[in-house]
Amino acid sequence: MSPPSQYLIVSAMLFSVGFAGAALRRNAILVLIGIELMLNAANLNFIAFWRCGAHPEALTGVMFTIFSLAIAAAEAAVGLALIIAVYRHRRTIQLDELESLKG
Amino acid sequence: MNWLDQIFVTSGHQLVSLAPASLQPAASVLLTIAAIMAVCGGCFALTTIIERKGLGRIQNRRGPNRVGPCGLFQPLADGLKMLTKEDIVPSSADKAAHFLAPIILTVPIWLTFSLLPFGRNMAALNLDSGVLFFFALGSATELAVFMAGWSSQNKYSVLGAMRAIAQMISYEVPLALATVPVLMLAGSLSLVDIVQAQGGYALGFVPRWNVLTPWGLVGFGLFLTAATAESNRSPFDLPEGESELIAGYLTEYSGFKYALFFLGEYLGLFAVSGLGVTLFLGGWRAPLPILEWAPSWFWFGGKFSALIFVFIWARGTLPRLRLDQLLNLAWKFLVPMALINMLAAAIWHLSPQWGGVFTSPPMRWLLTAAMLVFPYVWLGRAVNPRAGAKREYAYAE
Amino acid sequence: MLGSGIIKGFIETGRNFAESYFVPERLTTVQYPEEQLPPHENTRTIPFLVYDASDPAVGLRCTACQICEQECPPGCIRIVKDTTKKPDFVGKMQFQPAVFEIDISVCMGCGICAEVCPFDSIKMDHVFNLCAVERLESMLVRKERLAKSNDYFRSIHPREAREIDAQRGEEKAKAEAKTRAAAAAKASPATNPVCGAAA
Amino acid sequence: MPNNIPFYLAAAVTLGGAIAAMSLRNLVHCALCAAGAFAGLGAIYLQLGAEFVAAAQVLVYVGAIAMLIVFAILLTRGGKVKLTARQTAPNRFVGFLIVLLVCASLAGSILRSPSLQARTLALPEVTAPAQRIGENLMTAYVLPLETVGLLLTAAMLGAVVLAIREEPEARLRSEPTAQRRQALEEANIS
């Protein structure tokens, strides 16, 4: 079995990919996917730390991941509903074209 | 009796022990995979011919009877035809997704078979959260359906895929809710434990299967309905409604890829049938104490075949639903009924502790049955408001 | 109650399935090449020509009047008149077709030729196994293949054949009576120019 | 280390899917690759002994969120979006730089941490049985569970309200306008 740092490094790479995507892509849906990837990276950390932590029988990391999953589902639902609502009004979901609040 | 019951397990062990010691874990895994794939593939071939012949008999026809004795080699001929047909990919299709969709559809369904206990000690994997895994793998097929529909770049394909996804998402809810009472009372998500919990006989001869309780009967009905919809079978086969959508998301598929979709459909049917047998019909348990001498896999196979026959019977009987009827049935009837069923199961479970009249089994029976019959009648009226009214036809008569 | 109709349907189809092994009414299909249902009398496929008695060369009812050729909507009939006349069944001198061809790859089986024929000669057949490996020569049916006996016509269209036979019998009897009368008249000095050639 | 091959495979699927999801042009491809990444993570969870979380991951992410994203893409005609000039070369370079920087800083701290290096995982001892998770949810975590339930209900309602289409005729047919129209008609008649 691999040492925990392997899982953490995979998680770090996943997080950085998600972060770069969320920061640079201009499509709102892709930004949302990037955020989901970052959330997943965090979940992987929780599971890895639970697995090799001192008290795995307490299931803390697992419980946290389960709640995180539920919240991610809620976030995706609301986020995508927002994107669809924005698309109805502005006919675009390219973030650099949604600039009416720019000073 | 015991050697016959465990014949597959022991012969499997003997086969594996022939391999060198370092390769034995891999050999065991490979043998299990090969066994499951061979049995399910054989079942697939057999079911196609039995379904066609059964449908024929139901419709006063004979069905295929030309290839081989009684037409039994028809699946071979069909398979040969499918394999040798030209594989056409539309020029505007998204090649990668079009290629991957049938594979992604079939792989999760194969995986589900590793969870089913086909007999005593005959589950390939005893996962602790088996039922949840089953549903997770089932939901992965939705993505494959979307890929197939979208990558074909065909309006009918996209429409068919959208219908299929709407249907699968809607019916996943009652499917999962119908299984919840079983999980609640068995106290486990593992399929092996659920079969274990259905052991023994009440009054010495009535098996303690879940289907023989009021909540189990209702749950089984809900499960069967939702499972039919989930595996896209008639009367819920709108995604492939050929009168409206040609063949739905399969329109642009031909040759071997089409065969894979076909296979996936039947394997999905087998998977939900196996799950239904395990959850409600007592898995591999014998129906009567005096029949315990027959091997456990025989009972599983028998119940499994009976359930498949019920699906074929339903296909030959019921006309296809309209899309709004389909969604109404799911959200206005199946889901509320499943929720009430959960409540009834909880009362069934807890009523012995209340003491008094509730400890006697007939009282529990009456109480839970009453809890379920009245909502059934009431919700049935809500879902079909014109029931009993005389129909008027615009042009006929 | 919800589901009562569904159960009724299940019972009916279940009976269909189970009884199909015992009750012939529940299994109505026929295994085609081995068993064949007799075609209905009014079935029509392609036309054929009726001949009386046993020799098609003599008894062919067709008089090459070419009405069918003109009426045929797709124009699949070709008729060439013979140069000499022969006596028909009432003894009247008529032409016979030297060539009578139907291109059955063009024929649409409408039956108009049979309707317009004043001599009850062209009728619609019941044969339907008309496929061939070649599409020109074997699809062009000539007089020899078209000619079929009146017995055959009686066997496939018994009702119509009975009527026609009765009618023709009447006509023949009338013609014979006329000839007899003419013969009787010949014995007396008066002559009848119509029935010059008594059979 | 043959034991590690499944992990490397799952990690490769996860990272490859994530990178493809963030760099491909076609939005539907992006969503499908993201679904692949989510499924790969599920495999890693399964390997780590968290069966329940793995199943929930596949059920929620592949079954629900990926489908939601795909539906949103189709509803916003995102599959056929035109690329603007700004969305090309510099982006990719900057993205690579960001990935490298973030990853290097995180990986550096992970690799230098002595407590992580020392501990290795012992495989068979730890699992997360579903029964224990359920007991935990019903005892220690009952308040968070209720809160999540409330949050999900609120999110569902919010999503419906946000995404519901406002019908133009509905406003015409609404009460005050109808009254006004009736009043206007009466005025016209008189």
Indicate the CATH number for domain A27-95.
Answer: 1.10.287.3510
Query: Tokens for D35?
Result: 């679904």
CA distance B397 to B391: 11
Q: What is the pLDDT of residue C112?
A: 92
- In the chain, the amino acid numbered D51 is E
Better-scored residue on pLDDT, A52 or B117: B117
Chain A interface test: which of D26, D105, D148 (most A C-beta within 10 Å): D148
- Locate the chain D residue with the closest alpha carbon to A65: D53
| CA gap C34, B66 in Å, rounded | 12
Give every CB contact of residue D31 below 8 A, 6+ residues apart in sequence: A29, A33, D21, D66, D69, D70, D73
pLDDT in the model for residue C5: 83
- Neighbouring CB atoms inside 10 A of B379's CB total 18
Residue D164 predicted with pLDDT over 80: no
Q: B23 is written with which tokens?
A: 């390769």
What percentage of chain A carries pLDDT values higher than 90?
A: 16
pLDDT band at D86 (very low <50, low <70, confident <90, very high): very low
d(CA D94, CA D88): 11
Backbone angles phi, psi at C82, to 5 degrees: -70, 160
Query: Which stretches of chain B sit within 8 Å of chain D by CB?
Result: 94, 96-97, 127-129, 132-133, 135-137, 139-140, 142-143, 146-147, 150, 158, 162, 165, 169, 172, 187-190
Which residues are paired to B206 by β-bridges?
A: B202
How does pLDDT run across B358-388, given as a tens digit for each residue? 777 788 888 888 888 888 888 887 777 666 6
d(CA C176, CA C9): 68
Per-residue pLDDT reduced to its tens digit, B15-37 = 888 878 778 788 888 888 888 88
- The yes-or-no verdict on residue B297 having pLDDT over 50 is yes
Residue C79's beta-bridge partner residues?
C100
Answer whether B372's CB lies under 8 Å from B215's CB: yes
pLDDT at res. D178? 59
Determine the number of helices (DSSP H) and then strands (DSSP E) in chain B. Answer: 15, 2
Residues in chain C: 199
* Domains in chain A: boundaries: 27-95
Bridge partners, C124 (sequence order): C47
Q: What is the pLDDT of residue D89?
A: 46
Distance separating alpha carbons of residues B208 and B198, to the nearest angstrom: 5
Q: Which of D41, D43, D38 has the alpha carbon at shortest distance from D67?
A: D38
* Average pLDDT value over all residues in chain B: 85
Q: Do A40 and D37 touch (CB under 8 A)?
A: yes
Answer whether B20's CB lies under 8 Å from B278's CB.
Answer: no
Q: Which two tokens stand for residue D148?
A: 């999540």
Count other Cβ atoms within 10 Å, centred on residue D131. Answer: 15
The 10s digit of each residue's pLDDT in A75-86 is 888 888 888 888
Tell me the pLDDT tens digit for each residue of B306-349.
999 999 999 989 888 888 888 888 888 899 999 999 998 888 88
Domain borders along chain B are: 24-84, 90-321
Question: Is there a contact between D66 and B136 (Cβ–Cβ < 8 Å)?
Answer: no
Predicted local confidence at residue C92, as pLDDT: 81
Q: Look at the block and give the residue holding tokens 């896209």.
A: B232
Count of beta carbons in the 10 Å neighbourhood of residue B38:
10
Q: Mean pLDDT over residues D160-165, rounded? A: 79
For chain B, how long is the longest CA-to-CA vector? 78
Round to whole Å and give the CA distance between D68 and D31: 10
| DSSP 8-state code for residue D87 | G
Q: CB-side exposure of A56: number of CA atoms within 13 Å?
A: 19
Angle CA(C69)–CA(C73)–CA(C76) in degrees, nearest 5? 55
What are the boundaries of each domain within chain D? 1-82+89-128, 129-190
CA D154 to centroid of chain Cα atoms: 18
Confidence of residue D116 (pLDDT cuts 50, 70, 90): low
How many C-beta neighbours within 10 Å does residue B202 have?
11
Distance between CA atoms of B335 and B140, rounded to whole angstroms? 22
Helical pair B130-151 and B95-113, crossing angle rounded to 10 deg? 160
Q: 29-58 in A: which are within 8 Å (CB) of D?
A: 29-30, 32-34, 36-37, 40, 43-44, 47-48, 50-52, 56-57
3-state secondary structure of A51: helix
Are the C-beta atoms of residues B130 and B190 closer than 8 Å to each other?
Answer: yes
D window 84-113, beta carbon within 8 A of A:
84, 86-87, 91, 94-96, 98-103, 106-107, 110-111, 113
CA closest to B383 among chain C residues: C2
Specify whether the CB–CB gap between C15 and C81 falls below 8 A: no
What dotted CATH number matches D1-82+89-128?
1.20.120.1200
The whole-number pLDDT of residue B66 equals 84
Average pLDDT, integer, range B162-191 = 87
Chain A CB contacts of D15 under 8 Å are 10, 13-14, 17
Helix (H, G, I), strand (E, B) or coil at C82: strand
Task: Indicate the pairing of strand C147-149 with strand C47-51.
Answer: parallel
Residue pair B120/D39 in contact by the 8 Å Cβ criterion: no
Q: How far is C40 from chain B (nearest CA, A)?
A: 22
What per-residue confidence (pLDDT) applies to D120?
Answer: 57
Average pLDDT on A19-24 reads 84
Give the tens place of pLDDT for each residue, A90-102.
777 777 777 777 6
The separation between the first and the last C-alpha atoms of chain D, rounded to the nearest angstrom, is: 95
Report the C-alpha gap between D104 and D100 in whole angstroms: 6
Phi, psi for residue C79 in degrees, rounded to 5: -125, 135
Amino acid at residue number C137: E
How many percent of chain D have pLDDT more than 70? Answer: 70
Report the range out of C15-19, D94-98, D106-110 with the highest average pLDDT.
Answer: C15-19
CB B28 within 8 A of CB B125: no
**Per-residue confidence at A40, pLDDT binned at 50, 70, 90?**
very high
What are the CB-based long-range contacts (under 8 Å, 24+) for B192-197?
B192/B117, B192/B123, B192/B126, B192/B130, B194/B131, B194/B278, B194/B279, B194/B283, B195/B117, B195/B278, B195/B282, B195/B283, B195/B284, B195/B285
Residue C192 pLDDT greater than 60, yes or no: no
Contact B177, D98 (CB under 8 A): no
DSSP B7-53: HHHHHHHHHHHTS-GGGHHHHHHHHHHHHHHHHHHHHHHHHHHHHHH
Q: How far is A102 from chain D (nearest CA, A)?
A: 19
Q: Would strands C77-87 and B206-207 be described as parallel, antiparallel, or unpaired?
A: unpaired
Domain C47-180, architecture per CATH: 2-Layer Sandwich (3.30)
Q: Report H helices in B65-94.
A: 74-84
Q: Is C43 at the interface with chain B, CB within 8 A?
A: no
Element spanning B363, H or E = helix B361-383
Rounded Cα gap, residues A52 and A61, in angstroms: 11
**Gap between the Cα atoms of B107 and D13, Å rounded:** 16
Tokens of B359: 């400890």
What average pLDDT does this structure show over A47-68? 83
Tokens of A17: 């990919």
Cis peptide before B235 (omega within 30 of 0): yes
C89-103 residue pLDDT tens: 777 888 888 888 999
Task: List pLDDT tens digits, range B97-131.
Answer: 888 899 988 988 998 888 888 888 787 788 888 88
- The rounded mean pLDDT for chain D is 77
Identify the residue whose tokens are 């639902």: A77
In this prediction the pTM is: 0.80
CB of D71 within 8 A of CB of D159?
A: no
Residue B348 CA to residue B346 CA, distance in Å, equals 5
- pLDDT tens-digit map of B191-235: 888 888 888 787 778 888 888 888 889 999 999 999 998 888 878
Q: What is the ipTM of this complex?
A: 0.76
Structure tokens at B145: 């359906």
Q: How many CB atoms lie within 10 A of CB B340?
A: 18
Contact residues, chain A, for D11 at CB < 8 Å: 6, 10
Distance CA C99, CA D130 (A): 91
A43 and A70 Cβ atoms separated by less than 8 Å: no
Query: In whole angstroms, what is the distance from residue B228 CA to residue B249 CA?
Result: 18
* Interval B271-292: pLDDT, tens: 999 999 999 988 888 888 787 7
